[in-house]
Copies of this chain bind each other. A is one copy, B any other.
């Protein structure tokens, strides 16, 4: 094994640095913007700062914490400086006060829910508006538009009678209150389908902390799929009853949960929706694994049936029960594939100024769905959803954001870190372990980080907490009637090799691990050398999103958590499930015969 980190690597094209668009994180010393939360939390048990009064960095903080980007070893870690959200009156949101006396045990339920602090803004600052301050009742799920869009009634304020929906903006409506993510309906009723999953559980607590009335359903399918593959979540998670009880005890968050299968218990779901009358529905209830969908016919069919027909059912229920409610549906950047021509990957549709040229004639392509090139039957199911939802909005005037999310990673939000029983799952097996999560787990136990094929595949990524931020912003800024909109939800893009190297560097330099990177045969059918130009402006430009979590910081946090002995043991226990057994070609190939194409080792710092 080479001890120079680059020995043996044949670079087929220059490795470019693709920093996150907003801000310049990076491990090679790109200039940071100063500010930001402390990089290292010394009390991972609850994942929050060990001081008695800390500024929990939900909306970004101006000062407090350890100052600028931290330097550890020879690795410069930087976090991005989030743009401060602003109120309509020009005051700036600074952060949130969280009392954290003795870790989680001493917290009062209200600690994580209250206490936004503001400062008076300068004149210039007043110009920067909260993203949804100027939205009107046309965007509000409480507006009863049965009589049309010119005069409406407010379901929350029936006493107001009928009025012009354009006459009231969110920043002037008493039902909308300011949060770090824009105005949000007071006690907004949000239903999460798939509330027991990695994202679902995290979002439930997150929204609960924001003051939403959260309801959710799940059939524990994710637990069962992982069990079926012989794996387990490496971060232990509590049973749902414990989760719910703990959420109430520790965070004061009550979640209205009902166990059911979205696809098979339709009448019960219908009842539940009718009872709760959610003002937003977050659809996380799909099977999210590409390899799982490629195992065989049964798995491919299961994934497409569960995902596509599950969504289709919810669309009909929304039409019949809550047509004013927005559907925030999780898709994936993987719907698009990687266009080999290098054309930009737009956000769902061609932009208005895109033009088709053919044989001397030209047409606008604006508003048409861009071509998709999904990489597995799972990704295909998401494309099918896209088309079904797109048309349901046309047929019935439903409202939906279809989120093309980058590959997710990370373990941290303030809520899941508040108590071990509130932790969200983390998978590292072939099927359910997304690449960064899997690399970190591999690094912890000295298992080589395995890159498929060239390792030059580029994908968009987003950290768990940033994803939650995006979801809050989308939920708080509902689409108008009939609007089907797509956002590309990612905070940066990296090649697989860059990720492996980053994990290896942080693991070896900061945690004393010896990390090897191996390049192995690619089980997938995909381009492994390709251009990549994703457009992901909408969340930033229209919803005020700025990434808050840097790749390096979150990898650091993950290593902190995963190196804990009881978690490390859980990784060791299932390490035989890391290497790919599922081949896109359908061939049966055993793990042992994987060909190692190249290998590179990062030695632990003495």
Contact with B along A332-348 (1 / 0, CB 8 A): 00000001011110000
Is A586 touching B344 in the complex (CB atoms < 8 A)? no
A358's partner among B353, B375, B395, B525 (CB-CB below 8 A) is: B353
Is B363 touching A342 in the complex (CB atoms < 8 A)? yes
Contact with B along A289-332 (1 / 0, CB 8 A): 00000001100110011001100110011011000000000000
A271 contacts the other chain (Cβ, under 8 Å)?
Answer: no
Is A316 touching B296 in the complex (CB atoms < 8 A)? yes
Instruction: Please give the count of copies of this chain that the complex contains.
Output: 2
The number of residues on chain A lying at the interface, defined by a beta carbon within 8 Å of a beta carbon of chain B, is 56
A380 contacts the other chain (Cβ, under 8 Å)?
Answer: yes
> In the complex, A317 Cα to B301 Cα: how many Å?
13
A343's nearest neighbour on chain B, judged by CB, is B363
Is B354 touching A355 in the complex (CB atoms < 8 A)? no
Q: A356-B365, A369-B371, A394-B525 are in contact. Are A304 and B308 (CB under 8 A)?
A: yes
Q: Which residues of B contact A525 (CB under 8 A)?
A: 394-395
A335's nearest neighbour on chain B, judged by CB, is B387
Is B358 touching A351 in the complex (CB atoms < 8 A)? yes
A119 contacts the other chain (Cβ, under 8 Å)?
Answer: no
Is B380 touching A388 in the complex (CB atoms < 8 A)? yes
A310's nearest neighbour on chain B, judged by CB, is B301
Is A363 touching B380 in the complex (CB atoms < 8 A)? no
A266's nearest neighbour on chain B, judged by CB, is B297
Which of the listed residues A308, A344, A354 has the most CB atoms from chain B within 10 Å of its own CB?
Answer: A308
Q: A343-B356, A351-B358, A387-B383 are in contact. Are A377 and B312 (CB under 8 A)?
A: yes
Is B369 touching A372 in the complex (CB atoms < 8 A)? yes
Is A339 touching B368 in the complex (CB atoms < 8 A)? yes
A-B contact pairs, 21 of them (CB 8 A): A297-B312, A301-B309, A301-B313, A304-B308, A305-B309, A308-B308, A341-B364, A343-B356, A344-B358, A350-B371, A353-B359, A354-B356, A368-B371, A369-B372, A375-B391, A377-B391, A380-B387, A380-B388, A380-B391, A384-B387, A395-B584
